[in-house]
A and B are shown apart, each in its own frame.
Chain A
Amino acid sequence: NAGVTQTPKFQVLKTGQSMTLQCAQDMNHEYMSWYRQDPGMGLRLIHYSVGAGITDQGEVPNGYNVSRSTTEDFPLRLLSAAPSQTSVYFCASTRNYEQYFGPGTRLTVT
């Protein structure tokens, strides 16, 4: 039981490049979320999903897309990377009242 896994652990992008951050969970949780964590800002919700095929926007969705074709996977796509997207990204899945977080992806956009 791996819990929530995220790949890659680190990534450097140039402005304008696109990429996909991968997230997978093996706990059969319906609810999954993406957060970004910036110094002094705590965790801010980007997008979330309540099940396969259903996604919605969080607090800071601009510049990001998501899809949920299976219960297990919830990838986050950066369409055209900007320096403001330099951050640590966490994926989480939820059961009852507890959110299980992945180890994070550290993204730098130059």
Chain B
Amino acid sequence: QKEVEQDPGPLSVPEGAIVSLNCTYSNSAFQYFMWYRQYSRKGPELLMYTYSSGNKEDGRFTAQVDKSSKYISLFIRDSQPSDSATYLCAMSAKEVRTSYGKLTFGQGTILTVHP
């Protein structure tokens, strides 16, 4: 069993829809949770960063962490065609700079937002 599981999709939604992306994990030591966005043929870029449990909002994006269920989510409101990308969750047991950039990634979910 992988430490981090992510539904690879693909997920296709109409413009304006609310998108929900999810990851589950098995390692209870994970405390730092990230979402990366990766456009086709590009490197991933950090979208959201959350420490421990709770919610974090940034514009149209909301990240949620439920450590009791070992479950994290990313919500995208009012989705746009420019949101079409692969979304990867990533986790670390230590702060990234002390874990030396060692992250455990999910498989990635391919999202398409059509006009």
Q: Chain A interface (Cβ within 8 Å of chain B)? A: 4, 31-33, 35, 40-45, 48-50, 56, 58, 90, 92-99, 101-104
The reply to whether B103 and A99 form a contact with Cβ atoms under 8 Å apart is yes
Are A48 and B96 touching (Cβ within 8 A)?
Answer: no
Instruction: Please determine whether A104 and B41 come into contact, CB atoms closer than 8 angstroms.
Output: yes
Report the minimal beta-carbon distance from B1 to chain A, rounded to whole angstroms. Answer: 14
- What residues on B are CB-neighbors of A58 within 8 Å? 102
Beta-carbon contacts under 8 Å, B59-115 to A: 88, 90, 95-97, 100-103, 105-108
Given contacts A32-B101, A48-B101, A99-B101, contact A40 B96 (CB under 8 A): no
Given A42-B6, A43-B88, A101-B44: A94 in contact with B107 (beta carbons within 8 A): no
- Known A-B contacts A48-B100, A94-B97, A96-B97; the reply to A43 vs B49 at CB < 8 A is no
The interface residues of chain B, by DSSP majority, are classed as: loop
**Contact sample, A vs B, 21 pairs, CB 8 Å cutoff:** A4-B43, A31-B97, A31-B100, A32-B101, A35-B105, A42-B88, A43-B90, A43-B105, A48-B101, A56-B100, A90-B44, A92-B43, A93-B101, A94-B100, A97-B34, A99-B101, A101-B43, A101-B45, A102-B43, A103-B43, A104-B42
Bound complex: CA A42 to CA B5 (Å) = 10
Option from A35, A98, A103 in Cβ contact (under 8 Å) with B42? A103
